[in-house]
Amino acid sequence: MKKKSGSEDSEKVELEHLEELDMELERLLTEQRNPATMDIDRKDIVEILRVINSEDRKVPSAVEKEIPNIAKAVELVVSSIKAGGRLLYVGAGTSGRLGVIDAAECPPTFNTPAYLVQATIAGGRRALWRSIEGAEDDSESGRKAMADREVCPKDVVVGLSASGRTPFVVGALLEAKRRNAKTVAVSSAPESKISEITDVVITPIVGPEVISGSTRMKAGTAEKLVLNMISTASMISIGKVYSNLMIDLRPTNEKLISRARRIIRMIEGVNGRTANEAFERSGRDLKTALVMIEAKVDRRIAARALKESSGIIWKAIEIARNYRRT
């Protein structure tokens, strides 16, 4: 009998590994074929768009079912930020890019410091513009990314993976847990690998994609909605919003100074001159100006009330009014 060579043994092991991977992927809901789009290649453009739109309408309902779990994630993030921690997104491909987008939009929207909301994508900066082959399969790189970010117990790490099995994300979450950070899984696959290792699991089940396996579509849309909810609800909860207005802004240029005065006019119903006077008396601090006007107090009391309310304006107004009465 001819003895197998080392190369033949290696090929056999590789083939067995590939067969196991094929079976694993075949079981994933995100990789299934969509019965509603089997003939999409035979449709005209308008029909194609109607099919895509019909499938997209399933996404908000899937996200709605996950609101209790999204709320748990927000509670973790709010507690983390108040304790001096950070929110970190980690993902690969489309999921990673969505995390980068959400993190990048927090400073201009909510005036957060750059360190507060961060994102890590498999393959690094280059992966934002093009696919980096094999980056998502490197679990050790995921671990190293969390070590490089010096993840600590105060932080919350949100793993983003449509399939719920991306090795880079799994590695990152395991390292985050080892460092005692809180962890959240966001995927579109029930009973996923990342759901087994996280504190909170968010799983909007959007069903098979219009184009089989193209998770940049419904699964990506679901992830974007979930990230919008996590970051926005967290920022509202820590006082970055008053009513439905972005009020935690720094007047560093003429446009932002004008926006601050317009917000005062909009909320308080005063003319431009009164708004400008209040803004200047507050030391050009919009939050302080709003408390001063609403509670009819001076700058010192308004600032004190804001500190006691942790920057939440409606609470600060109530505190300042009580100071005025005593």
Catalytic residue IDs: 105, 136
**Contact in structure between 239 and 248 (CB atoms under 8 Å):** yes
156 has which bridge partners? 87, 182
Q: Residue 256: what are its φ and ψ, rounded to 5°?
A: -70, -35
Q: Is 8 helix (H, G, I), strand (E, B) or coil?
A: helix
Whole-angstrom distance, CA of residue 111 vs CA of residue 101: 15
Query: Using CB atoms within 10 A of its CB, is residue 28 exposed (0-12), middle (13-18) or buried (19+)?
Result: buried
The count of residues in the chain is 326
**Contact in structure between 62 and 204 (CB atoms under 8 Å):** yes
Tokens of residue 200, six digits: 């909170």
Whole-angstrom distance, CA of residue 98 vs CA of residue 121: 9
Whole-angstrom distance, CA of residue 297 vs CA of residue 316: 11
Alpha-carbon separation of residue 270 from 74, 242, 298 (angstroms) = 35, 17, 18
**Contact in structure between 195 and 169 (CB atoms under 8 Å):** no
For 237-255, b/e burial (b = at least 16 CB within 10 A) is: bbbbbbeebbbbbebeeee
Q: Is 37 helix (H, G, I), strand (E, B) or coil?
A: helix
